[in-house]
Amino acid sequence: MTTKNPEAPGPGVRTLACAGHRLVLDRTRVMGILNLTPDSFSDGGRWLERDAAVEHALAMQEAGADIIDVGGESTRPGAQTITVQQELDRVLPVIETLAQQLSVPLSIDTGKPEVMRAAVAAGAGMINDVYALRQDGALQAAVEIGVPVCLMHMLGNPRVMQNAPVYDDVAGEVTAFLLERAALCESNGIARENIVLDPGFGFGKTLEQNITLFRAIPDIAAMGYPLLVGVSRKSMLGQLTGRQTGDRVAASVAAAVLAAQMGAAIVRVHDVGETRDALEVATALWQGWA
C-alpha cells in the first residue's frame, strides 16, 4: 500500500530542519525581524518591552511570517558590541516564551557561541550569523548545535564596515567568501543541507556595490545553497528613494519581490504582511500557482 503524505515536499524541494519545525523552500519564505536591541525597545530587558516583543512576533506570524529572527545585538553601522550576559538577558526570555507560543520556527541573530547555544536550548531552530561563524568558538558551537546556519558576508565589522569599502569585483569577492565559509563549515561537520548563504546587503558596501551585488543574486543562488536576502528598510533604499526608515515599506517590498524572482529562498523583512501579499501576487502572475 502506498500512502502519500500531503505535508511532504516534492522532489528537489530543499527543506531546512529547524529543531522540530520544517522550513520548506518550495516558495520564497518570509523571515520576520524581531529586533530586541535598545534601538527599538529601550533597554530590551524590562517586562513591558518583553511583552511588546512577544506581541509583535505573534502579529508577524499572523501576518504570514514563515520564521521569526530574534536579535539582541545591534549591527548598525558604528554600533558598539555588548556582553554575552547583556545579549542573553535580552533574547532568552523572549525566545523561551515564543518557542511555546509560535507554530513557526525562530532563528537567533547572533555571532556569539554562548548565545547560539542558549538560544537553541531555549527553542530557536536556526542560527543567523552576520559574522559567518568567524567569532571565537562560533563554528564549533554551530557544529555541535546542529541546526541550520545562515552565513552572511560582511566586510570588516559593524564599527568600521561603512568606511569607504573597496572591492575589485564585489559580487565575485562576496561569492568567494561565502563559498569558502560554507566549505569550512562542511569540512567541520555541518551538513550541506543546513547551510544558507547571504550576501549581506549594507554590510560594508556602498550603494553602487549593493546594486551590483543585487544584480548578481541569480549567480549567487546558482551556487546551490539557499540564499537569504535582507534589504528591508536599509539605507540603500533610503538613498534610492530619499525616504526615512519608516517610509521605506514600498521600496522594501519591491526589493523583496525582485530578490524572490531572482532566486532568493528567504527574504528577511520588517513588513511581513505587505511582503507576503506582494510575493503571493508576483508568484501567481509570474509562475501561476498550483
Catalytically active residues, by annotation: 234, 268
Under the binding rule (CB under 6 A), the answer on residue 275 touching ligand 7PM is no
Strands 21-24 and 15-18: antiparallel
Of 228, 256, 259, 267, which lies in the binding site for ligand 7PM, with binding defined by CB under 6 A?
228
Question: Which helix (DSSP H) or strand (DSSP E) does residue 71 occupy?
Answer: strand 67-71
Under the binding rule (CB under 6 A), the answer on residue 109 touching ligand 7PM is yes
Binding mask 55-94 for ligand 7PM (x = CB under 6 A): -------------------xxx------------------
Per-residue DSSP letter, 219: H
Least distance in Å: CB of 17 to ligand 7PM?
19
Q: Which is nearer to ligand 7PM, 205 or 276 (CB)?
A: 205
Of 268, 271, 272, 279, which lies in the binding site for ligand 7PM, with binding defined by CB under 6 A?
268
Per-residue DSSP letter, 18: E
Least distance in Å: CB of 64 to ligand 7PM?
19
Q: Which is nearer to ligand 7PM, 76 or 192 (CB)?
A: 76
Phi, psi of 230 (to 5 degrees): -125, 105
In the numeric block, the cell 505587505 is attached to 274
Cα dihedral: 137, 140, 142, 144 (round 10): -130
Under the binding rule (CB under 6 A), the answer on residue 128 touching ligand 7PM is yes
Pick the piece of the chain touching ligand 7PM (CB under 6 A) from 134-142, 177-185, 197-205, 218-226: 197-205
The answer to whether the beta carbons of residues 80 and 42 sit under 8 Å apart is no
Q: How far is CA 20 from the centre of its chain?
A: 19
Strands 67-71 and 106-109: parallel
Look at residues 205, 256, 201, 248 and name the one whose alpha carbon lies nearest to residue 28: 256
The answer to whether the beta carbons of residues 35 and 71 sit under 8 Å apart is yes
| Four-residue CA torsion sign, 100, 122, 110, 29 | negative
Pick the piece of the chain touching ligand 7PM (CB under 6 A) from 9-17, 82-90, 96-104, 228-236: 228-236
Least distance in Å: CB of 204 to ligand 7PM?
12
Of 201, 209, 255, 256, which lies in the binding site for ligand 7PM, with binding defined by CB under 6 A?
201
Interface contacts to ligand 7PM, rule CB under 6 A: 33, 74-76, 109, 128, 130, 150, 152, 198, 200-201, 228, 230, 234, 268
